[in-house]
């Protein structure tokens, strides 16, 4: 294991860029907007307590259907179309981030979400 083991990853398992302050994250948003023409939003990460960026649009490869559930950071929750894929993802994330995740059924019944135990 590397010294810094708290690196968060996105849903493609790529390390997320961590910003220590909101203004740093804002600079990152501007840079991505200028360079890639992509709109990003910042959110405070609950596992590493740094700021990360996420796409502003609700484009997600996880499920075609979306629900309107939000996590405590105000970003749309990842939706898994089957319980099995949600459980598999929970296993990976739990191992990587040393957190315990549980699978629960979306209240809107559009799939499954992960929640911190
Ligand atoms: Zn994080
Ligand atoms: Zn939902």
pLDDT by residue for the chain (117 residues), tens only, comes to 334 446 898 878 888 999 999 999 999 999 999 999 888 888 888 888 899 998 876 544 444 557 889 888 888 888 888 899 899 999 988 888 888 999 999 998 889 999 987
> Could you give the 3-state DSSP secondary structure of residue 78?
coil
Q: Are 71 and 79 in contact (CB under 8 A)?
A: no
Q: How many residues does the chain have?
A: 117
Q: Which residues contact 95 (CB under 8 A, 6 or more apart)?
A: none
49 alpha carbon, closest ligand: 1
Cα 55 to middle of ligand 2, angstroms: 18
Q: Are 92 and 101 in contact (CB under 8 A)?
A: no
User: What is the 3-state secondary structure of 4-55?
Assistant: CCCCCECCCCCECCCECCHHHHHHHHHHHHHHHCCCEEEEECCCCCCEEEEE
Domain ranges of the chain: 8-57, 59-117
Cα 49 to middle of ligand 2, angstroms: 24
Task: State residue 57's pLDDT score.
Answer: 63
51 alpha carbon, closest ligand: 1
């Amino acid at each position: 294991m590397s010294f810094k083991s708290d690196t968060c990853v996105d849903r493609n398992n790529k390390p997320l860029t961590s910003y220590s302050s909101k203004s740093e994250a804002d600079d990152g948003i501007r840079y991505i907007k200028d360079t890639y023409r992509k709109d990003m939003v910042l959110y405070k990460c609950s596992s590493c307590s740094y700021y990360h960026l996420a796409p502003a649009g609700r484009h997600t490869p996880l499920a075609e259907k979306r629900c309107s559930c939000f996590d405590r950071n105000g970003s749309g929750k990842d939706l898994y179309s089957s319980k099995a894929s949600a459980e598999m993802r929970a296993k990976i994330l739990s191992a990587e981030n040393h957190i315990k995740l549980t699978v629960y059924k979306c209240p809107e019944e559009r799939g499954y979400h992960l929640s911190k135990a």
